[in-house]
Amino acid sequence: MDIFGLLQNTLNWLIHPQTLAYALAALGLAVHFGYTGLLNMGVAGFMAIGAYGYAMSVLHLGLPWYLAMLVALVAAAIFALILGIPTLRLRADYLAIVTLAAAEVVRYLLTTTVFDEWTNSADGLAQYHDSFRGSNPLPEGTYGIWPWIYNEQGWWMRVFGILLVAGAAWWVWSLMRSPWGRVIKGIREDEDAVRALGKNVFGYKMQSLIFGGVLAALGGIVISLQSAVVPSFYQTNLTFMVWTALLLGGAATVFGPIVGSMLFWFVMSLLDYALPALANMGILPISNIQAGILRFIIVGVALMLLVIFRPQGLFGNKKELTFAK
Amino acid sequence: MQTTVTHRRSLLSLLFMGLMALMVLLPVAVAVADEGDDAPPAGIPVGSVGDEYNFQFTGNVRHNSEPLEGVRIYIDDNGYFAEVLTDERGRWKIGVPEKISYTISLDEFTLPDGVIVTEGGASRVEEFGLTGSKSVNFFLGEGVRVVVSFWDQLTSRLVNGLNFGLMLALASIGASLIYGTTGLANFAHSEFVTFGALIAFVVGVGFEVPIWLAIPIAVALTGALGYFQDIVLWKPLRRRGMGLAPLMIVSIGLAMVMRYIFQFAIGGDTLQLPGSGQEKITLIANIQLSIIDMVSMGVSIVVLIAVALWLMKSKLGKATRAVSDNASLAAASGIDVDRVVRVVWVVAASLAGLGGILWAYFRPGIRWDMGMQVLMLIFAAIILGGIGTAFGALVGSIIIGILVETSTLWIPSDLKYVGALGALIIVLLFKPQGLLGRKERVG
Amino acid sequence: MPSNEKNSNAPKKAIDLHVGEMVPGVAKKDPIIVAEGVKRSFGGLVAVDVEHLEIPRNAITALIGPNGAGKTTLFNLLSGFDKPDHGDWKFDGTNLSGIPAFKTAKLGQVRTFQLTKALGLLTVLENMKLGAKGQRGESFWVGPFKGLWNKQEQEIEEKARGLLQRFKLDAKEADFAAELSGGQRKLLEMARALMTDPTLVMLDEPMAGVNPALTQSLLDHILGLKESGMTVLFVEHDMHMVRHIADWVVVMAEGKIVAEGDPESVMKNPAVIDAYLGAHQDVDLGVVTGRIAAEDV
């Protein structure tokens, strides 16, 4: 086994755009679930809206990248509003089911040939990068420190993603220490008590849903910076994997989602490398394809074990959050 | 007594909603029915279109060596649309922007009466050869055009929808019972659906057991899986007093595990149960059903009635409803809640397994991710009918089944699930407790 | 005005609250709540059907009645946590029917719950600070910038510490509320309610599940509320407590108000005796008196 290659590949994933995107989405989910107690199962939908909102605004409206991103975030906020109005007054599990359904609706709408003109249906969109890459302030060339060596565009999207994650983490952290965060956490514990104290619980839940949804959409944008957006990426499984990353780190923490995402992709890439290698060497009696599938079985098992045995995540404080309800 | 009152009222509102739906849909239906008989609208170019492009499809429409004038040929593919009528010599030409394959269609309604496309179909996918021009010929002959009137289509879809709804009901009733008795929104429920179908395949095809025996074996094994899950996983978690949100996430993890184990085992293939893909027999009024469809509907109905009787009449069934209503009260009045829940898991899993087998015939085919496709519909059905009520799940399933199947009359078939999920969201907006649910359960 | 009444065993009662004869629905001289034709039914079951009710200002009113009489439902209606079939009511002259719960609280009508709702994973001090009204930092856009709300936060903290001291919870301020005993949680909930500067405090069974040693101090606190100018409306089962502190008693049975008046005369009212004993002889006495928590309608 090529240990050097394995290490380089695995460490690369720590600042991979996909990892950064997961970190943003998981931060949003921490706001939803960890702090407010909202069961958002539609993370993939928010991310899809972020990615497509950005790509379509560039391609069809001819907007510069920053305005296109703004449009994508506004679209995600509107999506949150539409989801929240019928469900936020109902029991938590309704929100879970409706968000999951809505995310699927988004994916179906992006996949169908009806809107082919705008979405290019199942093939997805590409060639929307000129504006973003044109604003690259970094010098040309390929540079970095081992194992992180990329060209200027590779760095640009990573640096941009890291800045977004840092900004989002700051925003979440400073909100959660504020009276706003106090209300939000109170709602997680018992919304009737908070209501009785004169707080507009519905309004706060809506703000939380929108804020977390916008963070997830930012995640979708970061993913779309790589090469293309295709609808099949935004399946329900994406949502579940973001959940796993979140629970890995700790749901009611700011750094948990970030560290969790890094750890998640570190392990996933490790398995991606190791399992087929083991299969090829005849140590595991499985095919290459099966080795790839085995990864997802492991994700499912990890998710179950985490929730059952370590609900506060690897880095969370047990007192701070075991599951509220 | 209280419940009968609510039920009656809900049934009334159901009826009302149905009427409303009909009133809304009727004008649309008429409009669609009319559309088919229209002559090609004026303003379509004759002879050739898209001359500005370098690549072109050409053809000559003849019947018995006689050129046919005014036949509409069109392309609506790859984001490009063009249409043309044949000239007096039967010729047509459509220029296209790219040298890739296109679907070219002939509008059969513009052919003279008694003439149809006999071979190759009225829509054909054509590719360019080495040159920038390709000739496309439709083979015409005499025959009766199979014109399916709108109403025939509707009735046929209604029957199909009912069939699908009944299968869906088998899966959703169990999910609803589990929700009612344990509070768990089980995201892994749809994996019982896949599991049942898969085991039927393994037993029926792998071990060559005759299918009439393989199906009960598969159903029993799915029930056993439900039993096993309850003993190993759910009961210990209940004992720990785990909250509903984490339980739900555990079920998500379990769903992932099961789903990928299926893919691990069978890969991306579609497997067929013995006897599937049978020829359809035309019954009255253009309703086409295969023998298996009919048997399947019969089985669903019988099983659903049996479940209803079990819930209404048997001691255990009544206990189940009592636990659904109020678990602590039921426990206080001497009902063994754990036993009831165990039975519910077995029943729910078996029903879902049976639903999966029937669905594998209906789709047709077994795929590793078939459960994932139906999960949202199960949830939609139980919320639509009123979460936690078994009869609500039945009504919700049939509505969803019919909605999914008939919606393709108006919307493209790749959006057929969107209609069902849209209905779910609308119901939540206006009647969050579902059609048969009780208001107090919500919120 | 606040005196050292706490040492006295017989609290000073507010008298002369009503106008005319002491019958259900009697008018009050200075009502804080006026309810008219409030009805709420579940399915076919009528839980609350109140023709007319007035709650006197700056007095302690007890709402009593056997289990299932609709007391908590009425509470939920008045505080906006439930919606009636019909009827309306005014709080301090403001029509409250159809107003969501959080707005009634903003108007100065705060409530507690039968099953205490301490926010377990927030500290005692955070629980208290949550109660304060008009916090600038509770806005999404202001929240991230500590400078904009820090000064106000200090004031709120000071006020919270003062109240915690009064309720003898100051030593616990850094503990999670989940770590408190049942009685302490009741105290915390009451103290938290006071953070909103209410004019009317509605307490749903403040004494239920409280250790007898704490009961007296809870009663003193309730009396203290009246002394500091608030109006108190509370649900209770224990007649002894009611007699001891209430200025006015409203008796409910089967959703209706069957009697009201000062404690002494209400106790003698045959309708009350009938409601408590006649209609519910088959019910466990513990349920009737509220020692055993039974699900209210």
Q: What is the CATH number of the domain that holds B129?
A: 2.60.40.10
C138, closest residue in chain A (CA to CA): A180
Last residue of a domain, one of C157, C179, C201: C179
Length of chain C: 297
Which residue in B5, B438, B440 is closest to C44 by CB distance?
B5
Give pLDDT, residue A36: 94
Which residue in B243, B258, B432 is closest to A323 by CB distance?
B243
Cross-chain Cβ contact A196/C146 below 8 Å:
no
B6, closest residue in chain C (CA to CA): C43
Is residue A323 within 8 angstroms of chain B, CB to CB?
yes
**Distance between B163 CA and the closest CA of chain C, angstroms:** 34
Residues C200, C96: one domain?
yes
Strand partners, C141: none
Last residue of a domain, one of C155, C179, C203: C179
3-state secondary structure (DSSP) of residue B49 = strand
Residues C262, C150: one domain?
no
Identify whether B304 is part of a domain. yes
Identify whether C281 is part of a domain. yes
Q: Is the dihedral of CA A59, A63, A64, A68 positive or negative?
A: negative
Identify whether B36 is part of a domain. no
Identify whether C106 is part of a domain. yes
Is residue C20 within 8 angstroms of chain B, CB to CB?
no
CA distance B382 to B437: 10
Residues C89, C189: one domain?
yes
CA distance C91 to C81: 15
What burial class does residue A283 get, using C-beta atoms within 10 Å of its C-beta: 0-12 exposed, 13-18 middle, 19+ buried? exposed
CA distance B194 to B219: 11
Do A49 and A220 contact (CB within 8 A), yes or no?
Answer: yes
Give pLDDT, residue B146: 60
Residues C144, C215: one domain?
no
Identify whether A123 is part of a domain. yes
Q: Which residue has the higher pLDDT, B11 or B411?
A: B411
Cross-chain Cβ contact A194/C130 below 8 Å:
yes
- Number of Cβ within 10 Å of residue C109's Cβ equals 29
Structure tokens given for B181: 């008795």
Average pLDDT, chain B: 81
Identify whether B2 is part of a domain. no
Q: Which of B23-37, B90-104, B386-400 has the lowest mean pLDDT?
A: B23-37
Cross-chain Cβ contact B246/A297 below 8 Å:
no
Q: pLDDT band for B396, please (50, 70, 90 cuts).
A: very high
- Number of Cβ within 10 Å of residue C267's Cβ equals 16
Give pLDDT, residue B144: 64
Residues C151, C98: one domain?
no
| pLDDT greater than 80 at residue B314 | yes
Per the omega criterion (within 30 degrees of 0), is the bond before A147 cis?
yes
Is residue C121 within 8 angstroms of chain B, CB to CB?
no
**Distance between A160 CA and the closest CA of chain B, angstroms:** 32
Give how many domains chain A has, as a whole number.
Answer: 1
Cross-chain Cβ contact C196/A197 below 8 Å:
yes
Q: Which residue has the higher pLDDT, B314 or B389?
A: B314
Residues B57, B174: one domain?
no
Identify whether A207 is part of a domain. yes
Q: Which amino acid does the sequence have at B435?
A: L
CA angle A59, A61, A66 (to 5 degrees): 85
Residues C110, C128: one domain?
no
CA distance A291 to C178: 46
H helix intervals, B267-366? 291-313, 315-325, 327-332, 337-362
A38, closest residue in chain B (CA to CA): B245
Helices (H) and strands (E) in chain B, counts: 13, 14
Residues C168, C219: one domain?
no
- Annotate B403-442 with b (16+ C-beta within 10 A) or e (fewer): bbbbbeeeeeebbbbbbbbbbbbebbeebbbbbbbbeeeb
CA distance A285 to A288: 10
Range of the domain at A86: 3-234
Structure tokens given for B292: 């298996």
Is residue B246 within 8 angstroms of chain A, CB to CB?
yes
Strand partners, B211: none
Residues C90, C173: one domain?
no
Identify whether A115 is part of a domain. yes
Do B32 and B410 contact (CB within 8 A), yes or no?
Answer: yes
Last residue of a domain, one of B112, B142, B172: B142
Identify whether A240 is part of a domain. no
Q: Among B398, B442, B393, B441, which residue's Cα sits nearest to residue B420? A: B398
B324-336 confidence digits (pLDDT tens): 888 888 888 888 8
Q: At what angle do helices A179-189 and C124-131 cross, to 10 degrees?
A: 110
User: Which ranges of chain A have pLDDT less than 70?
Assistant: 1, 317-325
Residues C98, C230: one domain?
yes
A43-86 confidence digits (pLDDT tens): 999 999 999 999 999 999 999 999 999 999 999 999 999 999 88
B98-142 confidence digits (pLDDT tens): 777 788 888 877 888 778 777 767 777 787 877 788 888 887 877
| pLDDT greater than 70 at residue B28 | no
Range of the domain at C171: 122-179
- Number of Cβ within 10 Å of residue C247's Cβ equals 20
Give pLDDT, residue A323: 45
Do A299 and A269 contact (CB within 8 A), yes or no?
Answer: no
Do B427 and B434 contact (CB within 8 A), yes or no?
Answer: yes
Three state DSSP letters for A238-286: HHHHHHHHHHHHCCCCCHHHHHHHHHHHHHHHHHHHHHHHHHHCCCCCC
Around C58, how many Cα atoms within 13 Å sit in the side-chain half-sphere? 10
Identify whether C2 is part of a domain. no
Q: Which residues of C touch B3 (CB under 8 A)?
A: 43
Type and span of the H or E element at A10: helix A3-12
Q: At what angle do helices B390-407 and B150-182 cross, to 10 degrees?
A: 150
Residues B72, B172: one domain?
no
Identify whether B34 is part of a domain. no
Give how many domains chain C has, as a whole number.
Answer: 2
Angular region, B30: left φ>0, alpha ψ -120 to 50, beta rest: alpha
Give pLDDT, residue B162: 93
Give how many domains chain B has, as a whole number.
Answer: 2
Structure tokens given for B261: 């184990």
Give pLDDT, residue A279: 84
Give pLDDT, residue B124: 78
Is residue C134 within 8 angstroms of chain A, CB to CB?
no
pLDDT, tens digit only, all 297 positions of chain C: 444 444 445 677 777 788 877 788 888 888 899 998 999 888 778 888 989 999 999 999 999 888 778 888 898 898 888 888 888 888 888 888 888 889 988 899 999 988 888 888 899 999 999 999 989 999 999 999 999 999 999 999 999 999 999 988 999 999 999 888 888 888 899 999 999 999 999 998 888 777 777 888 888 888 999 988 899 999 987 777 788 888 999 988 888 888 888 888 887 777 777 776 655 444 444 444 444 444 443
Do A84 and A203 contact (CB within 8 A), yes or no?
Answer: no
Identify whether A126 is part of a domain. yes
Q: Among A168, A247, C279, which residue's Cα sits nearest to residue B250? A: A247
Range of the domain at B342: 150-441
Please state the ipTM of this predicted complex: 0.90
Per the omega criterion (within 30 degrees of 0), is the bond before B364 cis?
yes
Identify whether A189 is part of a domain. yes
Is residue C147 within 8 angstroms of chain A, CB to CB?
no
Identify whether C26 is part of a domain. yes
Residues C22, C83: one domain?
yes
Residues B242, B343: one domain?
yes
CA distance B171 to A228: 38
Identify whether C9 is part of a domain. no
Do B119 and B87 contact (CB within 8 A), yes or no?
Answer: no
Q: What is the CATH number of the domain that holds C63?
A: 3.40.50.300
Q: pLDDT band for B268, please (50, 70, 90 cuts).
A: confident
Do B145 and B67 contact (CB within 8 A), yes or no?
Answer: no
Last residue of a domain, one of C134, C152, C179: C179
Which residue in A85, A89, A247 is closest to B443 by CB distance?
A89
Which residue in B258, B261, B412 is closest to A114 by CB distance?
B412
Q: pLDDT band for B147, please (50, 70, 90 cuts).
A: low
3-state secondary structure (DSSP) of residue B292 = helix
